């Protein structure tokens, strides 16, 4: 209530992860973990505001991962023909149909990289139903750009480090990591700082303290 909204169709690119980021934005909450969504608050206020340059998704499984499909549930008997997703789940029995794949879309062109090298390329401006795979005749420059985009996306999002240090990071292990930098006359103070607080917070305070003391020398 009271938020500016521009009703209508917006052509800006967004991803499901952006929903989380948007909720956090409206709530005024800072996430306590790394997340890769981007708030669409600006796009809701102005539907002409730019979205993302690319959007991505991935799915499927390796051939040796049949346990990752939806067929092998219900005691391995699979879905019944009356199941709304019967066709999808049945197709997942086929290793090629359910092979791992990653997709990138730039608003017009879509590239799908598959583990079995049967890649796909579509021009949604001329083929919105994605009925014609033109991977063999795709513009090399466009294809190369989309492949680079997928590679960059994987590097940016494939792993992240939790904000909270592992519980195995004790005052003793933290001391072991920094003791060679601590002058003898500061050891007792640093030990006390490490014992009185846990993990990341203690280390941050210690490093700030040491930087100030060493700079003053």
- 133 shares its domain with 72: yes
How do residues 99-149 score in pLDDT, each as one tens digit? 999 999 999 999 999 999 999 999 999 999 999 999 999 999 999 999 999
Domain-embedded: residue 164: no
Q: Which helix (H) or strand (E) segment is 124 a member of?
A: none
- 69 shares its domain with 4: no
- 60 shares its domain with 150: yes
Cα–Cα distance measured from residue 35 to residue 171, given in angstroms and rounded to the nearest whole number:
29
How do residues 53-82 score in pLDDT, each as one tens digit? 999 999 999 988 878 877 766 566 777 888
- Mean pLDDT computed over every residue of the chain: 89
Burial degree of 30 (CB within 10 A; 0-12, 13-18, 19+): exposed
- 146 shares its domain with 90: yes
Cα–Cα distance measured from residue 4 to residue 84, given in angstroms and rounded to the nearest whole number:
39
- 31 shares its domain with 81: no
Asked if residues 135 and 120 have their Cβ atoms less than 8 Å apart, the reply is yes
Question: What is residue 94's predicted lDDT score, i.e. its pLDDT?
Answer: 86
φ, ψ of residue 114 to 5 degrees: the values are -115, 150
37 pLDDT above the threshold of 70? yes
Closest by Cα among 60, 70, 68, 52 to 149 = 52
Cα–Cα distance measured from residue 38 to residue 31, given in angstroms and rounded to the nearest whole number:
12
- Residue 165: band (very low, low, confident or very high) from pLDDT cuts 50, 70, 90: low
Question: What is residue 167's predicted lDDT score, i.e. its pLDDT?
Answer: 64
Domain extent for 205: 171-216
């Amino acid at each position: 209530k009271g938020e500016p909204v521009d009703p209508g169709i917006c052509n800006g690119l967004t991803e499901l992860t952006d929903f989380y980021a948007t909720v956090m934005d409206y709530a005024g909450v800072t996430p306590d973990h790394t997340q890769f969504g981007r708030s669409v608050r600006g796009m809701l206020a102005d539907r002409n505001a730019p979205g993302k340059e690319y959007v991505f998704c991935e799915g499927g499984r390796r051939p040796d991962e049949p346990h990752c499909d939806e067929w092998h549930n219900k005691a391995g008997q699979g879905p019944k023909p009356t199941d709304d997703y019967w066709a999808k789940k049945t197709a997942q029995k086929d290793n090629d149909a359910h092979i791992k794949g990653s997709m990138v879309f730039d608003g017009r062109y879509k590239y799908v990289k598959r583990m079995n090298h049967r890649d796909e390329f579509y021009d949604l401006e001329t083929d919105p139903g994605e009925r014609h795979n033109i991977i063999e005749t795709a513009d090399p420059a466009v294809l190369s750009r989309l492949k680079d985009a997928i590679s960059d996306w994987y590097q940016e999002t494939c792993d992240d480090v939790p904000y909270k240090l592992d519980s195995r990071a004790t005052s003793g292990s933290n001391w072991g990591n920094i003791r060679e930098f601590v002058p003898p006359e500061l050891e007792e103070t640093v030990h006390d700082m490490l014992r009185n607080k846990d993990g990341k917070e203690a280390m941050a305070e210690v490093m700030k303290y040491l930087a100030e003391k060493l700079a003053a020398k």
